């Protein structure tokens, strides 16, 4: 008997110690703590509950606490609480509870466990609830943002289970979202790639950072009907209370792939057409040389032998034939020069532009002297290109500046404006200028704005300039006004800075 009393006292002391630890824990927690009798009724005042809900003891006594629950949540919460009370199992739920200080309902997470006596019966329920309203609102805003996203969005956990999907994912893959939630993400992966996907997923969670999935590889998604669609996937880690999750953005690139294929096809057709056109121009021009030389030789011999021996009309006809043959020879030579921009192109190399400029000026030495022109230049940089073609480009532009001069001796300046990897060049003159409506036309093949009587030439020089610049992946354009000179601009690829050995030139007549 005395042993039973002693054991009972020890048990009571242990229980009091346990309850004291519990009270200490309650006072230290930020959650609201509450207790009920075995039937789930409040039988003593709950200060934390009263402070949060604003209910008085008379209002929440017994089962009155139910009135603080949101009406839409009440049935669900009470059913879960009744089940816990009847089974004695733990209780967990999230619900909206009236929050008196803010005057509105706020989300809380509630938990409760049964405290049992020595016989195993439930003596009381001890529970807590924590305010999770800020988190729930953030989750709702996040969910709405995902739902409104223009791309298919899916969130998965570290086991690869789909937790969230938006309507764009339904449209892309043909599933209702209820069909994919809780399913492995491999459901959306083609069968040939499914075996590798878990390792790729584990690799992401081992190093969770934003990235493009499968960079450099073609990715495909598998629709519900089995059809595969090309996709581009962006991965983003989302840190939550439950751990790191992965939010994937999936873009259907079917139209982009189709456009790329069309672009490649058109590009190849254009390249082939250009090659055929260049070959035709070269062959046609080359094949015309021999009969033209025969015709030209005959009419020139006829002119030498019979000039003045026939009537005036005959001399005029012979003169027209000779000049026509000369013009035809010039046209053929220019057409050959135009086709050779491609057919005789040399590999690009780094070169000091001062050297092609010096060569161009040497080739124009007679025209400079006869016109009294002055040609100046900035320090020339190193560029990447074909030195022979750059020489021709500069020679054509400077030659035009001298040819289309006004009443004053020509003044031509070759300038430079470095802009990162591209270098902007310009050739500025004080010549007759160009009206704006002709800015594009002058770069066409055999396009002339003046008669041969005033300014000789075939009108192909600027077309050659454009072709050279475009071969160097640059642009060429003009700014001008009638009677106020012209400035031709073009861009070239810069060479490395350490290779630059600038030179300045001044040539005068």
The CATH number given to whatever domain includes residue 78 is 3.30.450.20
423 in the same domain as 359: yes
The CA–CA distances, whole Å, from 487 to 411, 413, 441, 455 equal 12, 9, 16, 19
163 in the same domain as 53: no
234 in the same domain as 155: yes
434 in the same domain as 473: yes
Task: Kindly list the strands in the beta sheet with 91-99, ordered across the sheet, starting from the edge strand earlier in the chain.
Answer: 32-36, 122-131, 104-116, 91-99
Q: Give the model's confidence band at 174: pLDDT under 50 very low, under 70 low, under 90 confident, else very high.
A: very high
The angle that helices 387-403 and 354-363 make with each other, rounded to 10 degrees, is 50
Identify whether the C-beta of residue 336 lies closer than 8 Å to the C-beta of residue 285.
yes
Composition of the chain by helix, strand, coil, percent to 5: 50, 25, 30
Kindly report the three-state secondary structure assignment for every residue of 413-469.
Answer: EEEEEEECCEEEEEEECCCCCCCHHHCCHHHCCCCCCCCCCCCCCCCCHHHHHHHHH
Would the pLDDT of 499 be above 60? no
463 HSE (CA, 13 A, CB side): 17
Q: Which domain covers residue 331, as residue numbers?
A: 258-342
Lowest-pLDDT range of 65-74, 142-151, 468-477, 498-507: 498-507
User: Which of 342, 367, 398 marks a domain boundary?
Assistant: 342
User: Which of 110, 130, 150 marks a domain boundary?
Assistant: 130
In the three-class reduction of DSSP (H, G, I as helix; E, B as strand; rest coil), residue 255 is classed as helix
* pTM summary value: 0.47
DSSP 278-334: HHHHHHHHHHHHHHHHHHHHHHHHHHHHHTTTS-HHHHHHHHHHHHHHHHHHHHHHH
The DSSP element (H or E) to which 277 belongs, if any, is helix 254-306
Q: Tens digit of pLDDT for each residue in 87-100?
A: 999 999 999 999 99
Task: Report which of 179, 495, 229, 172 is spatially closest to residue 348, judged by C-alpha positions.
Answer: 495
The residues pairing with 472 across neighbouring beta strands, listed in sequence order, are none
Query: Of residues 271 and 60, which shows the higher confidence score?
Result: 60
The CA–CA distances, whole Å, from 322 to 287, 294, 315, 387, 455 equal 20, 12, 11, 36, 20
488 in the same domain as 372: yes
Identify whether the C-beta of residue 380 lies closer than 8 Å to the C-beta of residue 354.
yes
- Residue 379 has a CB neighbour count (10 Å cut-off) of 13
Q: Give the model's confidence band at 118: pLDDT under 50 very low, under 70 low, under 90 confident, else very high.
A: confident
User: Which of 292, 324, 342 marks a domain boundary?
Assistant: 342
Q: Provide the residue count of the chain.
A: 509
Q: Tens digit of pLDDT for each residue in 325-363?
A: 776 666 666 666 776 676 677 888 999 999 999 999 999
Q: How many domains does the chain have?
A: 5
304 in the same domain as 207: no
Would the pLDDT of 1 be above 50? no
The CATH number given to whatever domain includes residue 463 is 3.30.565.10
Residue 210 has φ and ψ, to the nearest 5°, of: -65, 135
> Which letter does DSSP use for residue 499 in this model?
G
484 in the same domain as 381: yes
Identify whether the C-beta of residue 73 lies closer than 8 Å to the C-beta of residue 95.
yes
C-alpha–C-alpha distance, residues 389 and 461, integer Å: 12
The CATH number given to whatever domain includes residue 332 is 1.10.287
The CA–CA distances, whole Å, from 345 to 179, 357, 449, 479 equal 61, 19, 29, 29
354 in the same domain as 237: no
What's the pLDDT score for residue 54?
Answer: 95
What's the pLDDT score for residue 108?
Answer: 94
What's the pLDDT score for residue 374?
Answer: 93
C-alpha–C-alpha distance, residues 147 and 165, integer Å: 8
292 in the same domain as 248: no
359 in the same domain as 503: yes
437 in the same domain as 482: yes
């Amino acid at each position: 008997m005395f042993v039973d009393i002693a054991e009972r006292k020890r048990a009571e002391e242990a229980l009091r110690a346990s309850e004291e630890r519990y009270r200490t824990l309650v006072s230290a927690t930020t959650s609201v703590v509450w207790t009920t009798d075995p039937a789930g009724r409040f039988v003593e005042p709950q200060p934390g509950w009263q402070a949060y809900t604003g209910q008085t003891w008379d209002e929440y006594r017994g089962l009155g606490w139910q009135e603080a629950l949101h009406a839409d949540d009440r049935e669900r919460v009470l059913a879960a609480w009744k089940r816990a009370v009847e089974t004695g199992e733990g209780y967990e739920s999230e619900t909206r509870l009236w929050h008196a200080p803010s005057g509105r309902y706020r989300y809380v997470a509630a938990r409760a466990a049964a405290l049992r006596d020595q016989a195993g019966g439930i003596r009381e329920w001890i529970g807590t609830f924590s305010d999770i309203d800020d988190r729930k609102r953030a989750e709702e805003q996040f969910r709405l943002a995902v739902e409104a996203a223009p791309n298919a969005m899916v969130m998965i956990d570290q086991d690869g289970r789909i937790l969230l999907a938006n309507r764009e994912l339904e449209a892309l893959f043909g599933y209702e979202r209820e069909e994919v939630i809780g399913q492995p993400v491999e459901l959306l992966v083609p069968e040939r790639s499914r075996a590798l996907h878990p390792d790729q997923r584990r690799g992401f969670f081992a190093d969770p950072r934003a990235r493009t999935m499968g960079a450099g590889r073609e990715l495909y998604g598998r629709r519900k009907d089995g059809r595969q669609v090309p996709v581009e996937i962006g991965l983003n880690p989302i840190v939550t209370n439950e751990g790191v999750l992965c939010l994937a953005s999936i873009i259907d690139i079917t139209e982009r792939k189709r456009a790329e294929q069309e672009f490649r096809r058109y590009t190849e057709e254009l390249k082939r057409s250009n090659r055929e056109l260049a070959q035709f121009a070269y062959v046609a021009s080359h094949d015309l040389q021999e009969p033209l030389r025969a015709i030209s030789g005959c009419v020139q011999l006829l002119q030498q032998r019979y000039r003045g021996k026939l009537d005036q009309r005959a001399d005029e006809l012979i003169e027209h034939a000779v000049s026509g043959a000369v013009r035809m020879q010039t046209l053929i030579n220019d057409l050959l020069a135009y086709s050779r921009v491609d057919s005789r192109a040399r590999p690009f190399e780094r070169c000091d532009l001062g050297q092609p400029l010096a060569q161009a000026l040497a080739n124009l030495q007679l025209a400079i002297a006869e016109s009294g022109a002055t040609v100046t230049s900035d320090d020339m940089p190193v560029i990447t290109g074909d030195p022979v073609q750059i020489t021709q480009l500069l020679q054509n532009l400077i030659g035009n500046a001298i040819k289309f001069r006004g009443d004053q001796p020509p003044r031509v300046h070759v300038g430079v404006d470095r802009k990162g990897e591209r270098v902007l060049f310009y050739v500025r003159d004080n010549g007759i200028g160009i009206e704006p409506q002709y800015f594009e036309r002058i770069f066409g093949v055999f396009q002339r704005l003046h008669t041969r009587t005033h300014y000789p030439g075939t009108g192909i020089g600027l077309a050659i300039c454009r072709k050279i610049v475009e071969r160097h992946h640059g642009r060429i354009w003009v700014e001008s006004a009638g009677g106020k000179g012209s400035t031709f601009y073009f861009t070239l690829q810069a060479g490395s800075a350490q290779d630059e050995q600038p030179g300045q030139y001044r040539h005068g007549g």
